[in-house]
A and B are shown apart, each in its own frame.
Chain A
């Protein structure tokens, strides 16, 4: 039996762009890492179909060699030209995936059926394997909506996976997530550690290093039990100096809803960030291939920064703390995304509730129609 974490889709075989189709979302999940001004107070921005086409044509050139795209947001299914977006990707010979909360899945379901041959996978975000636990974070009715979406996928052969967060409230329920996902017909279950947006969020919902290790071992056990792929995203504690993730190993690139090229979807538009040094190009003004050169340089610099940090600890006989040993947390620190950690800036995050099933919804769990 393996003792290490099972990494989810450890490395993409394809080179994939993650692209934010919109800034807005119909749900208000208090732990969301996206900046709340963009999500709820900025006018809706919907990514241009023409710009998408230009980006794909540049990114597919041999010097870049990308061949697929994964849409994120905001909530991608809100995009009013979703069909044109998908048909553009397919016409360019690329594969697509997207992440969704499932609320508006009925809107895009016919588009998927018409473009199934270009679909890699639909990823559904799930906060709990029961109605009570999921709706606690996402609002009443969310769980039934996502179950209906999973049903449509299962019956019509649309490949889908489940993405589940690792938090203090979900930690005792990892097996429930796996059982639910397998029973519903998911191809995979990908867990990911909380990306903290405030000290209070980290204290209330984040796990200690010891708890993380226990959790990752449990996920490794589940990955051996289930036929379905079960894994954890790249942010787990990892002292291997080699590239720990797709963003740093030239397997992915991120484009935000403004059309700006940046290193990683986990850094982009981060709630409470003090800097945007992970942004390397404005693709409304510059070709993807030109910006990509700077992106690779930035990734190499970050890899070197991480390697030196690990080497310093090794020479000193010390063990990196969680925020250095976790590649995602290390990048969040390096790129000025969590300035509240050293007290240099106050947190702008919403408070995170302790999740208790059947608790009444707080104001920021309210549903909003778009």
Chain B
């Protein structure tokens, strides 16, 4: 799992806003989804093809958070994205 690459699907359009927030548009459902600062960091990493282990490292570098807690947060986000069909 830690080395799995989860690529964003082609029907999702990501727009980054000032303040490091982001918005996803699902072109299938035509719905907007707002990403907070940390979710935007994760999404950008997914777009670059980073693995989960690499994303954990990015998050622990950017924020004062333990690797375990970062991994748990990332798991939650990925599950949420998948449940909304925003991630394959």
Contacts and interface: CB of A to CB of B under 8 A. Distances in A.
Interface residues of A, number: 14
B15 A179 contact: no
Interface stretch (A151-159, A243-251, A260-268): A151-159
Interface stretch (B23-31, B39-47, B53-61): B23-31
A258 interface: no
A154 B32 contact: yes
A180 B27 CA distance: 9
Nearest to B13: A147
A150 B27 CA distance: 12
A147 B27 contact: yes
A148 B32 contact: no
Contacts of A179: 30
Interface residues of B, number: 11
Nearest to B29: A183
A180 B30 contact: yes
A144 B13 contact: yes
B17 A147 contact: no
Given A148-B13, A148-B15, A155 B23 contact: yes
A152 B15 contact: yes
A184 B30 contact: yes
A28 interface: no
A151 B25 contact: yes
A147 B34 CA distance: 15
Contacts of B31: 183
A228 to B, nearest CB: 13
Interface string B1-36: 000000000000101010000010101011110100
A90 interface: no
A184 B29 CA distance: 10
B15 A183 contact: no
A155 B17 contact: yes
A154 B15 CA distance: 12
Contacts of A152: 15, 17
B34 to A, nearest CB: 8
A151 B23 contact: yes
Contacts of B25: 147, 150-151, 184
A224 B74 CA distance: 45
A294 interface: no
A131 interface: yes
Nearest to B11: A131
Contacts of B32: 151, 154-155
A151 to B, nearest CB: 4
User: Which 5 pairs between the two chains have the least Cβ-Cβ distance?
Assistant: A183-B30, A151-B15, A148-B15, A147-B13, A151-B23
Interface of B: 13, 15, 17, 23, 25, 27, 29-32, 34
27 contacts: A130-B27, A131-B27, A144-B13, A147-B13, A147-B15, A147-B25, A147-B27, A148-B15, A151-B13, A151-B15, A151-B23, A151-B25, A151-B32, A152-B15, A152-B17, A155-B15, A155-B17, A155-B23, A155-B32, A155-B34, A179-B30, A180-B30, A183-B29, A183-B30, A183-B31, A184-B25, A184-B30
Interface of A: 130-131, 144, 147-148, 150-152, 154-155, 179-180, 183-184
